[in-house]
Structures are given as structure tokens and as C-alpha cells.
Amino acid sequence: MDISCTEVPPLPPVLSLPETGRSAPGLRASAGIIATYFVLQLAVGIAFALALGVMAALSPTGPGIDAAIRTTLAQPATQALVAILSLGVAAPLTLWLARRTWPALWSLAQPPGFGFTPPRHLLFFALAVAAGLAAPILGSLLTQWLAHGHTVTQDIQQIGSNTPLGLRIPLVLVVVCVGPLVEELLFRGVLLSALMKRVHVGWAVAGSSLLFALVHLPGLQYQWYALPNLILLALLLAGLRLRSGSIWPAVLAHGVNNLLAVAAWFVAINPPG
């Protein structure tokens, strides 16, 4: 029987690959790499702050170490440097760890793959820009309705608005480019794949979106009414990831969303002091 002309049926949306190294990440491993990313940020930030505080305390007219650390961390420029360094160190290490742990999943289009491959169609990049522009607008309306007039503040926005202009540029780069890349890998790559192996795709998207929102609450000073905005963004990003067969449209949409959030840093530049 000649099978050379037999049509091969298309692969299902979610690949099931039993080969070694191609199975979806486990939930424990997914939680571990997400925790590692945030612990690395915290560790780098603490180490840098301690180093600055010790240097200030050792100066001839310097105060004690405790006072020096508090004074140093109160400066917007120091806060910006801590954010830049902590994210700048944690992100590449996390990307390297994920690539080393799951090399066979890196460029697979659909889960259990992480989607580091071009999308099915370039139109998805246009959809990503539209989603990145629409998400903060719709999300802010929803947040204002839930907050009942309360102002929603975010740590990174407060840092950026008071930071010297020379530091705002690198801060924007890590917030708009580096952060979205590693967070999409973690939440729409590793975690979503792990959940889709165990539950229906809808529950997997909902679970990964909820966790994405929850881990951002500390940066929003635990203002719960910001949760729906974050969940909405996460749902849009998950939809882009699954529909496009690539992580890149989600990274782009996430970056556009963050860019709108930090654009106010440059609308009215107030020199510090």
C-alpha cells in the first residue's frame, strides 16, 4: 500500500508529547521557577541596598548602618537602581534556568511548548498592539468602578515619576521589555502548560491568570480592586498565546500595556528636588 500521498491530519491544538523532555512541566517545578524569579529580585535588591547603606555608613560623617540604609532607600534614584538591577539580574537568570530545564519545550508552538517561535500569522502582532492599548483603558474603567473613587497607586509608577531622567530610560526598558518577556515565559509558558496537562484549557487559563494577578498585588500595595484589571490583561495575553501559537504576541501586548502605564513619567518631567 502506497502511503506516500496519504494526508497527515493536523495536530490538535494541545500537543501530547510523551518523549523524555517533551512532557509538560510539573506544578511543583512551575511554582519553583516562578518563586525563584521573585526571590532573586528580592535578594538582589536587598544585597544592593545593604551595599549602599554600608558604604554610606563607613563614610567619615556617615550615620549608623540602619539609618544609612533607610536614608539611601528613601531616595528615588536608589529605588530606581534597585528595580533596574533586581529585574536585570533575575530575568536573564530565570530565562536561562527555564531554557536549561525544558530545552525541548522552548520553541514548540502550542503547550506543552513555551512558544518561542514566530506566530501563525503576522496579523497577531497587530492584534497584540490593539490588546495592549485596550487592556489598560478597559481595566482602568473597571478599577475606577470598583474602587469607588479611591486612588490606585503602584510602586513602580511612584518610583519612576520621581526618578531623575537619566535613570528613567533604563527603568522603562526593563519594565517594558525585560519584565514582559520573563513573565510571559513563566505564566503563559511554564505555568499554563503545567495546568493544561491537568485541567481543561479554560480552567488552566483562569488559574494562571489569577496567579498572575495575585503576584502583582504587592506592587499595587494590596489594593484588591486592581485585581480585575490584572486578570483582564492576563486573559487577553493567554488568548494571544494560544491562538497565535507563539509567546511573542503576548510579550508585545504586555510591553505595550506597561508602556502606557509608564508614559506619564515623560509627559510632565519634574526635576527631583
What pLDDT, in 10s, does the model give residues 103-158? 999 999 999 999 999 999 999 999 999 999 999 888 878 877 776 666 666 666 66
Distance CA(214)–CA(227), nearest Å, equals 7
Total domains in the chain come to 1
pLDDT, average across residues 195-211: 96
| Residue 197 placed within a domain | yes
Residue 272 has pLDDT above 50, yes or no: no
127-136, 144-153, 221-230, 233-242: least confident range: 144-153
Would you list the DSSP string of 7-40? Answer: PPPPPPSS----STT-SPPPHHHHHHHHHHHHHH
pLDDT of 222: 74
For the stretch 7-62, pLDDT in tens is 444 444 444 433 335 789 999 999 999 999 999 999 998 888 788 777 766 766 65
Dist. CA 27–CA 190, nearest whole Å: 9
Check residue 163 and give its pLDDT. 74
Residue range(s) defining the domain that contains residue 64:
27-267
How far from each other are the two terminal CA atoms of the chain, in whole angstroms?
A: 83
Higher pLDDT, 1 or 176: 176
**Residues of the chain with pLDDT > 90: what percent?**
52
Model confidence at 204: pLDDT above 70:
yes
Residue 273 confidence (pLDDT) above 70: no
Angle at 209 between CA 38 and CA 222, to 5 degrees: 60
Task: Give the pLDDT mean for 82-87.
Answer: 90
Flag whether pLDDT at 6 surpasses 60: no
Mean pLDDT of the chain: 83
Question: Cα angle vertex 247, ends 241, 251, to 5°?
Answer: 100
pTM: 0.83
